[in-house]
Structure 1
């Protein structure tokens, strides 16, 4: 089964674009994924640190307010319970985060409290009293069934609190009691909202966890997770006081980008000891990257279709000359009278059409030109040009023709300037390719009935049919055209190569019977051009 050239071109173009699209999609996706991970990870780490800082700052401020209150004269003996109650209620009204504030004596009996709640009762068994009687104390988040029954709760949700306990001392340093306060955990949600609101603009779908240092219990997070224990690597790193981000895999499939930080204290304040974990699903984080990859693939498929069509059209443009040559050959086989079309835009087609035209001329002319190109022993194996043997045969025929037409033959003996340097620097393989390209440019610079021969190395001989009236002017025009073409850069194996061209010329006329003498004169003129600065033409005339 054979496949036509147009199908091959269209398929090749489409296949190359598809492969490039897949490669580009992979490379861009890979780099974009890394960038998205780093960007989101840094944002989550920054938000974790900011939230841990805000938690600490809030608790430090509330603890400081309770400490300042404990030093007021109303708490010194004799105790003024009414004055203390007024101060406590005033503080609670100023800071609604305080759910309850009370003052207890050294035995834990509540002497005064906000809203008269628990007055006359005892908090002796509570950690806030047991620890606060010794030194300033901040407790962990906890439920309080007693306050939950007493305090109003319109939402019906479980109430959680954070305890602050501060010892009350007289001027001599003797402990008089404990000033205890309970903060509603609702303020932590406000801190969470203040952090997440700007974060959502950069990181979509992030979950926030506040985890206690006691048993790694989740204090704040998705409702289904609150109260459970966390054992993630991010929590272990946060518990060590570190603040950064990482990529974690959960349950063997779900992957998260996780930022973490630890709520360290400042100054004399020990800190809450809570860890802040903020994580985002990698699927959400990389969704824009996947969208970009899909866009690249779709665009690549569209381009592949267009390139396939372009390849189809280009192949049609290329094979059209071949079809014309084929049609001419078919007509030749049937009628015997046809002219092969000539094409000069494409090198291979130019050579093919020139060879076929020479063949047809040989077969159809009554007095044919010598068919010097048909014998492999008569042409140069590297360039395909006729060799010295073919040149001698050609000259015998050309001289007879010139005598009949009373015209002249102009001999151009030319060589390349800088060819040796090309061989030495770029290698003989590049030098061989350069000679092939030079041969093609010589063919472009001459007419079909004129002879171009490679006689060895980088030296060529061109035989021109010129008039009897002004042969030197006609030969000079062709020589200048050759020099201009050779001076243009050659693109060989992706690298531009530059060479020049020196030419020696001599004119044969019917009065000069010996063409070998004219060849010698052209050779001498060539070396004069070389010695005179190269890249020029020099004429020698017979004596």
Structure 2
């Protein structure tokens, strides 16, 4: 700021104009960006939440549909009579051809042996220990996503990753409801990935959207990043989906980035209860708010362009009144150097003429009042006899001294001083001699204190010293009191007479004893009276518990 004020007015006006325009551009960028960002965040959040809900609904509907298909197929007469396995194989292979999602279908007898299957894969194998048989013979069974242990080499994945299935199994019964076997179907999990890629590819503000399907135990079953599949996810949005909540929030994912995350539960469809999957749809906050960032950038660029244009105009326009002001400033500098006695009358615009006339009149009056004000200030803050400060000076000094002590974590020593038996000097030698003694006492007190301390005469022979003390304030204030007493004990020569005099001192400390000046002075005054009561020519340090003092004879 100081360097800015040292340049010319034209430069200041041009810079101020540029800063104003840039400031307005930054303010507009912030306000518009904040408002637009909030609106866009809300819009995208609702969008990703809708996508999550649609994906969850599509998963449940698909599972409900294929579960129904398996249930209907299991009722066919061909699957109730195990004598014609050729017919069973024909129907199964035709079904695989028409509905490719049925990667493998097998008919198991009551012992768990495969009697008919897609492409005769695992034909004759006993899979009685597999969940499709163990649970399928009891009732309708829908198994969660899993890798194919027995079919991995039979159905290699195009991506090289292990193929995954969702199992559907139902019991096959005779007309007497006796268990004949199990109808088992493995649905390729690839259908869910196809739904993710095609149905929710992301358009408009929903570009770069990632969709995840999460198992009940938190395992990622489906995701855009195959490296994440199989990992366990734990974020707040997933917790919301598990509570059957639908919505969106900004969540921090394991990669450390923040995403707008929509969530919805896959909680079944009609009589299909679902597998307690959760669907999460995420979009990077930076990607979502990219339009807002671009808008902010454009506003700032235009702000910089306009700042250059308007500052140039301001530079040109300022020249019309800068000239007279420059001449006026040079004249004032010449007056300060003593080269001019009177400010010349400078002409220019109407406001310049008024300013020039008023400055000339003002400078004349200020010159006249300067000396008078200095003298008035000296009289107002000093004692006319001794030249020491007075009560007004003490009040002003206290305000600054206490603030300085607080900043420096130091203490102030307040010493209340009173000459012992001073009245006898006035009575014996006269008031003129007494005044000489007071002036000499003032000179000696000044020699005892440091430059930043204050010596004040309150009236008569009563004086106050306020001194900054560091470290042990009690010890330093006592040292100062002892130095003063030694200095005052030196004889005084007044009116041709040799006069000896002594002094009593009361001491209080800020902030140890009090924090307000009035209280400190009162405590120092109490300590002064205690010093006089103990025989004079000594000091007493104020204490809340008692008065700890000393005198000249005990010090000797």
Distance 1:61 1:234, change over 3 A: same
Shift of 1:175: 3.1
Query: Which of 161, 166, 189 is the matching residue for 1:162?
Result: 166
**Aligned equivalents of 1:324, 1:154: Cα separation in 2:** 87
Within 1, Cα distance between the matches of 2:206 and 2:158?
Answer: 33
2:121 to 117, 121, 124: 117
Matched residue, 2:265? 262
Query: 3-state DSSP class of the match of 2:28?
Result: helix
2-structure distance, mates of 1:137, 1:110: 18
Work out which of the residue numbers 238, 241, 246 in structure 2 matches 1:238.
Answer: 241
Partner of 1:310: 313
CA-to-aligned-CA distance 1:22-71 (integer Å, 9 cap, x gap) = 22222222222222221221121111111111111111111111111111
Could you tell me which of 4, 10, 14 is aligned with 2:14? 10
When residues 10 and 177 of structure 1 are mapped into structure 2, their CA distance, relative to the original with a 3 A threshold, is same
- Residue 137 of structure 1 is matched in structure 2 by 141
- Of the three residues 157, 181, 186, the one matched with 1:182 is 186
Deviation at 1:288, TM superposition (A): 2.6
Deviation at 1:352, TM superposition (A): 7.2
In the comparison of the two structures, how many residue pairs are matched?
Answer: 350
Q: How does 1:425-440 map to 2 (within 5 A)?
A: none
Separation (CA, whole Å) in 2 of partners of 1:255 and 1:340 = 65
Distance 1:253 1:50 in 2: 27
CA deviations on 1:207-227 (whole Å, 9 max, x unpaired) are: 2211111x2111112111111
Counterpart of 1:36 in structure 2 is: 40
Is 1:105 equivalent to 2:109 in the alignment? Answer: yes
Does structure 1 residue 76 correspond to structure 2 residue 74?
Answer: no
Counterpart of 2:275 in structure 1 is: 272
In the alignment, is the contact (CA less than 8 A) between 1:47 and 1:195 conserved in 2? Answer: no
Q: Secondary structure at the match of 1:241?
A: coil
**Separation (CA, whole Å) in 2 of partners of 1:340 and 1:149:** 102
Return the TM-score normalized by structure 1.
Answer: 0.58
The residue that corresponds to 2:512 in the other structure is none
Q: In 2, distance between residues paired with 1:156 and 1:143? A: 13
Q: 2:9, 2:157 → 1: CA distance?
A: 83
Q: Alpha carbons of 1:2 and 1:38: their partners in 2 closer, same or farther (altered >3 Å)?
A: closer
Provide closer, same or farther for how the CA distance between residues 250 and 71 of structure 1 changes in structure 2, counting only shifts above 3 A. Answer: closer
Alignment match, 2:150: 146
Partner of 2:232, secondary structure, is coil
Output the CA distance in 2 between the equivalents of 1:18 and 1:349.
30
Answer yes or no: is the 8 Å Cα contact 2:155–2:163 preserved in 1. no
| Cα shift at 1:314 | 2.2
TM-score (norm 2): 0.57
**Structure 2 Cα separation of the partners of residues 154 and 74 of structure 1:** 34
Choose which of 195, 198, 217 in structure 2 pairs with 1:194.
Answer: 198
- 1:192, distance to aligned residue in structure 2 (A): 0.8
Is 2:148–2:162's contact at 8 Å kept on the other side of the alignment? no
Give the 3 Å change call, closer, same or farther, for CA 6–148 of structure 1 in structure 2: same
Aligned to 1:217: 219
| Match of residue 411 from structure 2 | none
Q: Does 1:92 align with 2:89?
A: no
For 2:154 and 2:15, the matched residues in 1 are separated by: 81
Residues 4 and 323 (structure 1 numbering): CA distance in 2 closer, same or farther, change over 3 Å?
Answer: closer
Render the CA deviation track for 1:119-178: whole Å, top value 9, x for unaligned.
Answer: 222221111122222222211111123211233556543211111111223344433321
Could you give the per-residue CA deviations for residues 329-387 of structure 1, whole angstroms, max 9, x where no partner exists?
xxxxxxxxxx99896xx6x368679x89xx9xxxxxxxxxxxxxxxx9xxxxxxxxxxx
**Secondary structure in structure 2 of the residue aligned to 1:96:** coil
Structure 1 residues 125-524: aligned runs within 5 Å? 125-151=129-155, 153=157, 156-197=160-201, 199-213=202-216, 215-221=217-223, 222-250=225-253, 253-319=256-322, 348=351
Give, in angstroms, the shift of residue 325 of structure 1: 11
- On the 8 A contact 2:321/2:348 being kept in 1, the answer is no
- List runs of 5+ in structure 2 lacking aligned partners: 330-344, 366-556
Alpha-carbon distance, 1:248 to partner: 1.0
